[in-house]
Each structure stands twice: as structure tokens, then as C-alpha cells.
A and B are shown apart, each in its own frame.
Chain A
Amino acid sequence: MLYREAGVFKTSYAKDQETFPIPFDKAGYFLALIVAFGVIPFLVNDYWANAILLPFLIYAIAAIGLNILTGYCGQVSLGSGGFMAVGAYATYKLMTAFPDLNMIIVILLAGLVTAFVGVLFGLPSLRIKGFYLAVATLAAQFFLVWLFNKIPWFYNYSASGQISAPERVVLGFEVTGANAQPAVIYLFCLCFTVALAWVARNLTRSNTGRKWMAIRDMDIAAEIIGVNPLMAKLSAFAVSSFYIGVAGALLFSVYLGAAEVGEAFGIQKSFLVLFMVIIGGLGSIFGSFAGAAFMVLFPVLLKNVMVGQLGWATDIAAHFEFIIVGALIIIFLIVEPHGLAALWRIAKEKLRLWPFPH
């Protein structure tokens, strides 16, 4: 009753192919956009921006990126942390080499650099599949982290080996550096997230997305009906790495401000993004958001309950957090392998009939 599609008829194929064919969904989507752009910037404070909103927006980009590769094209990757590092270091090098370059362009260029690196490490996917490919991307992860540690040129020979983002201004507002306002950073990231999610949706509903899914579901059949496997896989690696690179660039420049590669972009990051995609739902853009929200919000919530409400010691709470999140991941894999996106779909189907059972 609350959620219905009855009485919704489409009279053209263009209408039928809309992202939100059901008016209720469409209204919800626009409402969310209005709240995100029009309400939250006026309410946001430092804690909310840094603990929840920024990580959510940035990891959502990374999760969409990995979902394109793993969820849509079926190529498992454990190299997300390394590719985020490429985005971050490309941003750093571009920011320091071209101080006048607009930050938006810097971040997009960093994405392109990562896309190129992603294609290079995607080449083995033409020969190997599944777990073996995962191991190959794991090699990328370790190699890239090692590279950024080993060669001082990447961190401009700084004594600490760290990279730190200089202050940059976009449209008169500071977006990086210590003085950037939370509302400005939030809006800056939100624009990237919304634009990239929209692009991802367009790609996945078009011919490009169908080629990826064809490769994922049955690569031999895909090739026989005319999909060039080389182009399909490498384009998925390129697009996916672009997203992950942009996420890494934002994470470093506007969120962290300074980073050390092993700490900020280690193997934990790869697993974090992979968990987001698995918990959110493979092959779903909504799922990427849901997974990012879950993995960002849940630890914060647990910490607030255990430390704030129950008054436990911080280190005990941190250990419990690991146990609970780990257990939840296992439960998700067993109970709902298609993730939060599938749960949401089931909830919608129940809502269609509610409160009558038939």
C-alpha cells in the first residue's frame, strides 16, 4: 500500500528505461538530493563531516568503482587500496607541480592517471580469472605501496615520507588545508559522488554495461555474440580505477590532508572497500552506497554505544568492534549473499502488499 507500482503505465521505451520508473522511488530520490544539497550543508559541523559524511561520500565513490569491476564485470580485485594510493599521489604531484591548476581538474586528472595504472594491472585478467586474478591484483596492492614508499620523488623528498595537501581554493572557498570549512568540503565531495554515481548508472544501463555483465555471466558466450573481451575487461578496469583514483584523491586531499602510504592505503583499505561492495550488494549502485554507509556508520554507532553509553574502555570497545563487524560480514555472506541491495528489494516487495498479505 505504501509503495506501489500499480497504475504506472509507460507509453514509450524511453520512459520505460528511466532509472526510477516508479514515481514513489523518483520522489524519494529527489527528496534525498534536496536534503543532501539544501539542508545538510547548513546543519553540518566538524564532527559529523569528519566522522560520517565525508568518509561515506568518499568510500561510496570507491565502492561504486570496485562494484563496476567486481559486481558488473566479474573481475575480483584486491588492489583498491593501491589504486587509491595512485590517485592520492597523483593528486599530490599535480598539486605541487601545478599550483594554479583548479582542484577539480587535478582530481579528475588523478583519476585518469589511476585509470591508466588500472589498465596496466588489468592486463593479466585477459589470461587469468577468479582467485588467481585476485592474487594478481593483490600483487598490485603491495607493489604500489612499496613503490610510493621506496621512491622519494613521489613524496617530493620530504623528510617524513608523508604527503600533505597544500591549501587550494575552488570558487572562492577553501577545499583543502586546515582552514577549509566542513560544509564546503562536504559539498565538494557530494558533487563528485552524485556526478560519478550518475555516470556509473548511465554506463551500466547502456551497451557498455551490458558488455561487462555479459563477460561476468558467461564470457565465452559473450565473445561469441560479439563482445571483444579485451576491450570489455580493460574498459571495466579503466573506469573502475578512475573511480577508485578519484576516491583516493579526495580521501588524501580534502579528508585526511596528509597521508603516509602504508598507513592510509594499505591492504586494509582494499578489504574495507571489498566488504562495502559485498555487504552492499554486487552489481548494484544503490548497494555501493548502502555498503559504504554501513561500513562507515556501524563502527561509529558501536563506538558511541560501547564507549559513550556503556562506559567501556576504548581499547576493549575497539576489539569488540572488530569482532562484531567481522561476525556481521560472515552472517551477511551466509544469509544474504546479494547484500543490502537485495534486502531493500525484498522490503519493497513486502511494502507493495502491506498491510494485506496477498
Chain B
Amino acid sequence: MNAVETFTTPDGRTIGGPVMEMRNITLRFGGVVAIKDISFDIREGEIRAIIGPNGAGKSSMLNVINGFYHPQEGEVFDHGKKRAPMRPYQIAHQGIARTFQNIALFKGMSTLDNIMTGRLTHMKSGILSHILWKGKAENEEVVNREKVERIIDFLEIQTIRKTPVGRLPYGLQKRVELGRALAAEPKLLLLDEPMAGMNVEEKEDMSRFILDVNDEFGTTIALIEHDMGVVMDIADRVVVMDYGKKIGDGTPDEVRSNQDVIDAYLGVAHD
């Protein structure tokens, strides 16, 4: 990579060089082309939004980033280095965490255990030390528990610490899922519709958490969201997709005035 260009956002945060770069990604399922020749980058410290109508290929894009799908063409560059094909769990160990569109929590486990599971990429002890518990395993558990408690405080979910997550209301489950992803202390956090199905108040809370995560921990965030108000407010840069193609890329203001984007969202008269 050549010299990293940095720039500063209007609210004073510094955005660094690309953390993750997609180059000419094409993803097909049989004859269906889900993503067609898309390139964009995610820069260090920014909040990058991916928007587009239903079926535009946004979630598929996230699945490519965290290794769940392998694109037929194109490459993913991690910090300027081409990424070899990897299984999703290996990519998790590279520091990429995500949440899901339809909540994918471990329903039989408590909030605490769910978030503790998020820390497993940081836990080194093996099965033999777990058998004995005393010593290494217990120490590691306590050290990581402290980190998890900090996240629980941050997300204001202290009261549901020991509740099985299956019993929690939807909004709280979304918050626990964010907590689980944060527990991994990711370099890059992928959020798939973090505000889907929420009321205004819950959306405000969630937006605040996302901004705080970005601000306090400096976490790079890529998110998919349908609520345009939210996206335009919190994102630094926006990628717009439609039918698997990229139709816009830039700051919220640039995207808002892009004619293709307006056509895709509002429809266009064919004459």
C-alpha cells in the first residue's frame, strides 16, 4: 500500500486507511447473480453504511466479508493484504464480529454466557485446564468476566445478566447481540439491520450505542440499515446497492443527491 491518506470528519474523528477492501466482488448462486462486480472500501474508524432495496445483495455482501460466502470473482483485501479463503470461524479470529438481521443469539444461555461466548477468540486455555477449573481456567474466566461486565454496563443491561436470552423482549435481544459482538473487541464490526423492527425510542438508544462504540473504542463499523434518517445521521460514508450492483458511494449528502439512488428508491418513470 502507498502512504495512507487520512482525513477528519466534520465532528472531529480521524479516519484512517482502508481496513477492508472489496475489489470487483461477484457472487452467484447458480444462475442468480447476487453481487455483481462491486468494489468499495471500509476505512479505519469510520461508520460505513450499506443501503439498498430488499434483495439488493447487502446481507450477501456482509456474508462475503465474514467468509460465510466465497465470491466467484474478486478479492477481499484485509489491511492491504489479499485475504486467503478462510472459514468463518477463522475470520472471527482475525477480528471481525457481526450481528444478524434475524437475531442469532444462543437462546438457552444467559445474557452473561452469550456475551462471554463472544470473548472466546480471546480465551486461550484448553480443554485440559477446563477439566481442573482451578488455576488457569478460573483466572481466565475472571479476567474475561471483568471485560464482559464492562460491556454489560455500557449497554445498560445489568438487570438481565442472568436471564436466559430466549425470555427477553426483542429490543433487549438486539442489544445483547451487539454486546456479544463487542465482546470480541473487533477491528471491524458488521451490523446487519441493527434497528429492524424497533420503535423510535429503541432506535435512538441503538444509534447512541453505535456512535458510542465508534467514538469510545474507535471500532470501525459497517452497517446495513433501512431507516434512511438513521443512516444519514450516523454514517460517515454510504454505499448504495440495487440488484447486486453498486449505484452510489460517498458521504450521505453526495448519496442523497445522486440521481441513480433517487431513482432506485423512489422509482422512475419509464418512457
Residues of A within 8 A of B (CB): 12-14, 17, 199, 202-203, 205-211, 213-214, 216-218, 220-229, 235, 239, 283
Asked if B175 lies at the interface with its beta carbon under 8 angstroms from chain A, I say: no
Assuming the contacts A214-B117, A218-B106, asked whether A206 and B133 have C-beta atoms less than 8 A apart, the reply is yes
B106 touches A221 (CB 8 A): yes
B123 touches A207 (CB 8 A): yes
B142 touches A283 (CB 8 A): no
- 13 pairs, CB–CB < 8 Å, chain A vs chain B: A13-B146, A14-B138, A206-B125, A207-B120, A213-B106, A213-B117, A216-B106, A218-B107, A221-B106, A225-B118, A226-B93, A227-B120, A228-B89
Asked if B121 lies at the interface with its beta carbon under 8 angstroms from chain A, I say: yes
- How many angstroms from the CA of A203 to the CA of B133 in the assembled complex? 8
Q: Given contacts A13-B146, A218-B105, A223-B89, could you give 13 more A-B pairs where the C-beta distance is less than 8 Å?
A: A13-B149, A17-B138, A203-B127, A206-B130, A207-B123, A210-B113, A211-B117, A218-B107, A221-B104, A223-B92, A226-B89, A227-B117, A235-B127
- How many angstroms from the CA of A207 to the CA of B144 in the assembled complex? 11
Which residues of chain B come closer than 8 Å to A12, judged between CB atoms? Answer: 142
- How many angstroms from the CA of A329 to the CA of B118 in the assembled complex? 37
| Interface residues in B, total, Cβ within 8 A | 40
Which residues of chain B come closer than 8 Å to A229, judged between CB atoms? Answer: 89
Identify A210's interface contact among B120, B127, B142, CB under 8 A: B120
B133 touches A202 (CB 8 A): yes
A224 touches B66 (CB 8 A): yes
A224 touches B89 (CB 8 A): yes
A225 touches B130 (CB 8 A): no
Asked if B98 lies at the interface with its beta carbon under 8 angstroms from chain A, I say: yes
Q: Which of B75-134 contact A (CB under 8 A)?
A: 87-89, 92-93, 97-98, 100, 104-109, 113, 116-118, 120-121, 123, 125, 127, 130-133
Which residues of chain B come closer than 8 Å to A227, judged between CB atoms? Answer: 89, 117, 120
- Smallest CB–CB gap between B28 and chain A, Å? 21
Asked if B145 lies at the interface with its beta carbon under 8 angstroms from chain A, I say: yes
B100 touches A226 (CB 8 A): no
Asked if B137 lies at the interface with its beta carbon under 8 angstroms from chain A, I say: yes
Asked if B73 lies at the interface with its beta carbon under 8 angstroms from chain A, I say: no
Asked if B36 lies at the interface with its beta carbon under 8 angstroms from chain A, I say: no
Asked if B209 lies at the interface with its beta carbon under 8 angstroms from chain A, I say: no
Asked if B254 lies at the interface with its beta carbon under 8 angstroms from chain A, I say: no
Asked if B243 lies at the interface with its beta carbon under 8 angstroms from chain A, I say: no
Which residues of chain A come closer than 8 Å to B121, judged between CB atoms? Answer: 225-226
B109 touches A213 (CB 8 A): yes
A225 touches B123 (CB 8 A): no
Closest A residue to B190 by beta carbon equals A224
- Smallest CB–CB gap between A246 and chain B, Å? 14
- Smallest CB–CB gap between B85 and chain A, Å? 15
Which residues of chain B come closer than 8 Å to A239, judged between CB atoms? Answer: 127
- Smallest CB–CB gap between A284 and chain B, Å? 11
Which residues of chain A come closer than 8 Å to B97, judged between CB atoms? Answer: 225
B131 touches A225 (CB 8 A): no
Identify B104's interface contact among A213, A218, A283, CB under 8 A: A218
- How many angstroms from the CA of A22 to the CA of B97 in the assembled complex? 36
- How many angstroms from the CA of A277 to the CA of B208 in the assembled complex? 45
A217 touches B127 (CB 8 A): no
Identify B116's interface contact among A203, A210, A218, A283, CB under 8 A: A210
Which residues of chain A come closer than 8 Å to B131, judged between CB atoms? Answer: 199, 202-203
- How many angstroms from the CA of A12 to the CA of B146 in the assembled complex? 10
Which residues of chain A come closer than 8 Å to B68, judged between CB atoms? Answer: 220, 224
Asked if B205 lies at the interface with its beta carbon under 8 angstroms from chain A, I say: no
- Smallest CB–CB gap between A203 and chain B, Å? 5
Which residues of chain B come closer than 8 Å to A209, judged between CB atoms? Answer: 130
- How many angstroms from the CA of A223 to the CA of B97 in the assembled complex? 11
B109 touches A17 (CB 8 A): no
- How many angstroms from the CA of A206 to the CA of B116 in the assembled complex? 10
Asked if B174 lies at the interface with its beta carbon under 8 angstroms from chain A, I say: no
Q: Which of B23-76 contact A (CB under 8 A)?
A: 66, 68
A226 touches B92 (CB 8 A): yes
- How many angstroms from the CA of A100 to the CA of B149 in the assembled complex? 53
- Smallest CB–CB gap between B103 and chain A, Å? 9
Interface string of B137-152 (1 = CB under 8 A from A): 1101110011001000
A223 touches B113 (CB 8 A): no
B142 touches A13 (CB 8 A): yes
- How many angstroms from the CA of A17 to the CA of B113 in the assembled complex? 11
